[in-house]
Amino acid sequence: MKHIKVTFIGGDLRQISAAGYFFGQGAESRIWGFDKCRLPEGVTEYTSLEKACDGADAVILPLPYGKDGEINCPMTEKEVTLEYVLENINKKTVIMGGRLDEKAYSLAAAHNNKIIDYYGREELSVLNAVPTAEGAVELAMRELPVTLFGSRVAVIGFGRIGKVLTKVLCGLGAEVTVFARKPEAKAWARIYGCKAEDTSGMSEYLSRFVCIFNTVPAPVISGTELRNIRSDAVVIDLASAPGGVDTGAAEAAGIKVITALSLPGRVAPESAGEIIAETAVNILFQEGII
């Protein structure tokens, strides 16, 4: 990697890990927004945002970056806006952030800076499925009174997370049934050694499972489905907000639902940070910066 200057602003432990990764690749790695946090060797902490941004080739914002132009900075009492960051970088500086909103794009455009959402990158989504799956299994192990080995479990949806989660569950000896809409998804589930059923007929099967993992970001578990889930089962919703489970109806029915968002940053921040860093490196390569 060419010697470049990369500045990380705000975020959580994932950003610290990502900053350490960049230093290990030969970059000048700077960080702002972390009070009293232990940083990796070689990462320079700045108390002045202006100095942290001075001459930066890239500025990397957190996941999620924030909202309405306010940058997510949970590890400091200081506050900073994207507008202020843009005022302190040059026009050639590339900005990256996770889950950017329209406000972020409009602010960057007004300052003639390029801003890129690394959360939308396929490589990040695929690799993030691993800590998500491991975190989901950890939750299931903690909540269930039985082992996953030999237990009947369901996975709803067979996208990136569904595939990785199914592989992990099968490796633990669980009896996995995959519910999916697409014929090719059901075919792949069978190749994984699982039973495969169509999502449309899911209700009649749900009473069989001690644990149900949902990965579909759409309302798939509501009144009809909840009436067929056994009372001692655990439902783990991995879908992005607003999720795929009617939590109000589930509570009324006495069904335990765990909403498990942002698992990579919670269960494996170091690995999740390296995934962000690897994705950022790919972006910088494509932009001709490295």
Distances 55 to 46, 83, 109, 117 between C-alpha atoms, Å: 14, 17, 20, 22
Quick one: pLDDT at residue 240? Answer: 86
What's the pLDDT at 242?
A: 85
Give the H/E segment covering residue 189. helix 183-191
So where are the chain's domains? 5-120+268-286, 125-259
Q: With beta carbons less than 8 A apart as the criterion, state whether 176 and 120 touch.
A: no
CATH 3.30.9.10 fits 5-120+268-286, yes or no: no
**Token pair of 218 as six digits:** 């759409």
Burial of 96 from C-beta contacts in 10 A (0-12 / 13-18 / 19+): buried
In tens digits, the chain (290 residues) has pLDDT values of 678 999 999 999 999 999 999 999 999 999 999 998 899 999 999 999 999 999 999 999 999 999 999 999 999 999 999 999 999 999 999 999 999 999 999 999 999 999 999 999 999 999 999 999 999 999 999 999 999 999 999 999 999 999 999 999 999 999 999 999 999 999 999 999 999 999 999 999 999 999 999 999 999 999 999 999 999 999 999 998 889 999 999 999 999 999 998 899 888 999 999 999 999 999 999 999 98
| Domain 5-120+268-286 matches domain 125-259 at the CATH topology level | yes
195 bridge partner residues = 177
pLDDT confidence of residue 36: 80
CATH code reported for the domain at 125-259:
3.40.50.720
Whether the model pTM is above 0.75: yes
pLDDT value for 33: 96
- 242 Cβ partners below 8 Å, 6+ apart? none
What is the pLDDT, as a whole number, of residue 158? 97
Instruction: Look up residue 182 and give its DSSP letter.
Output: S
Query: According to the model, what pLDDT value does residue 241 have?
Result: 82
